[in-house]
Amino acid sequence: MVPIEEGPEPNEGELYEHHKVIASKGQEPLRVDKFLMNFIENATRNKIQQSARGGHIWVNDKVVKQNYKVKSGDEVKVLFEHPPHEFLLVPEDIPLDIVYEDDVLMVVNKPAGMVVHPGHGNYSGTLINALIFHVDNLPANSNERPGLVHRIDKDTSGLLVIAKTEAAMTHLSKQFFDKTSEREYVALVWGNLEEDEGTVEGHVGRHPKNRLQMHVFPEGEQGKEAITHYKVIERLGYVTLISCKLETGRTHQIRVHMKHIGHTLFNDERYGGERILKGTTFTKYKQFVDNAFKILPRQALHAKTLGFVHPVSGEKMSFNSDIPEDIASCVEKWRQYTKNSQ
C-alpha cells in the first residue's frame, strides 16, 4: 500500500485533512474503517466511522459506508474536519527545558510524551507551540515547521537543536544532511546481543502494509539509506542497555533497526516491544515485566548527546542530558531482577 497524497485540502469552505491510499496487490478484503486505521496516526476508529457517516470516505471516487470491504487496487480517500487553529500555529506558554541558548540557536531537552510539531490528533501542546511562544519569528524548515532542524518521536525523550535564524537553519540542516552532526541515544532492548558492538545497515522506508510503521529494506530496493552503530552498555539478562550512534536520521531509525536484528526496544508498542519477547513463562516473571512496563510506559529511548558546529563561531559544541527517571528506574528494576536470579 503506497500513500499517494496527504495534506490539507479545502472542501466547501471548511478545513480537512486529506489522505489518499491505494491498496496493494496482496490486500485481503478488509473493512474500510479498519483499513484506514493502519494509515492515519492518532485517528480513532470512531473518528473514521464518523467520517464515513458524513459521506467523507470514497473508494474509487464513490462514497462508501464504513463496512465496505477494501480490496486489491482500490483507491481510498478520506477527509477529516479540523479545528480551525490547526493551520494557525498558536503560541502556548509551555515550560521548556532549555539546555543552551544564544542569538542564533537553542538546545532543548524534550520530555517523553510531547509531540514535536502539530499534526492530526495533536493540534496543540507541541514543542513548536512552546517554541513560537518563547522565540519570535522562527525560520521555517523545508516542511514549513518553525525552528526544527531535526525531530524525535513523541515518546522519545532528549536533546534537539533549534535554529533561530535562517542562516542557522541552513548551516545546521547541512550538518545533519552531511552526517557531520553527532547524535547518541540510550535504549533498552529485548534480548542479549551477541556482540558487544556492531552496525546495522539497511534502507528505511514506510512499511508496505502499515503506514504507521517503518520497515527495513536490506537490499536498498526502497526507502533511504540508514546506518546505526550500537554498543552494549550493560547486559541485564533478558534485556540489554545499549548506546546507539546515528549516521543518518530516518524516521523511527533506531526502533526499526533494532527490531530488524531481533532486539525490539523495550515497551515499544508500535513495533511489538510491549509484549514479553524474551524470558520465562513463570507467572512471577510476567508480573515483574508488567510492573516494569508501568514504570516505563513508553519505548525505552532517550536522545542523550548532541554535537554540532556552531553556525556563527565555528566552535564545536557538545551537549549531554541525564537519562530520564522512568528509564533509569526501569533499568534499576532489571538490574535487581538479574542480580536476584543469579
3-state secondary structure of 204: strand
Contact present, 66 and 31 (Cβ < 8 Å): yes
340: number of Cβ within 10 Å? 7
Report DSSP state, residue 322: P
Q: Beta strand pairing status for 14-22 and 2-11?
A: antiparallel
3-state secondary structure of 3: strand
Contact present, 301 and 243 (Cβ < 8 Å): no
Our measurement of the distance from residue 154's CA atom to the centroid of its chain's CA atoms, rounded to an integer in Å, reads 6
96: number of Cβ within 10 Å? 19
- Out of 61, 97, 103, 153, the active site residue is 153
Q: Which three cell numbers stand for residue 304?
A: 542523550
- Helix (DSSP H) and strand (DSSP E) numbers for the chain: 7, 18
> Catalytic annotation on 136?
no
By CB atoms closer than 10 A (0-12, 13-18, 19+), residue 217 is middle
282: number of Cβ within 10 Å? 9
Distances in Å between the Cα of 288 and the Cα atoms of 150, 240, 274, 285, 337 are 36, 16, 13, 5, 9
Rounded CA-CA distance 222/207 in Å is 10
Q: Which sequence positions are flagged as catalytic?
A: 153
